[in-house]
Amino acid sequence: MLFGQSDLSSGKEVVEQHTAITVSWQEAKIFAYYLLVQLVMYEAQIGQPITVHPILLPDPIPDHGPEGAEDVAHVEETLGIFRELQARLFHR
């Protein structure tokens, strides 16, 4: 995971990355769970956080690799789940 700080002083957003942490996939999944729990609790008590500009998350870049068509179907399914989560989190 990379962490950084957003800087808008130049008129254009620049993110200065300053910290990198390596975690296992299991730890990343636990971290994501607790982060989502905190967000859901925040929204239940205060409402949806307001952002200054829309947050646009790029789709993960699919790597089809040597597996062929079976892998392509799996990637498409994964991207569908990703887009569904994105829509729920950002109310698109």
For residues 57 and 22, the model is more confident at: 22
Report, as an integer, the average pLDDT of 9-26: 90
| Per-residue pLDDT reduced to its tens digit, 54-70 | 566 666 665 555 555 56
In this prediction, residue 68 carries a pLDDT of: 56
* Spatial separation of the C-alpha atoms in residues 1 and 15, rounded to whole Å: 14
Residue ranges covered by each domain of the chain: 1-52, 54-92
In this prediction, residue 40 carries a pLDDT of: 85
3-state secondary structure of 60: coil
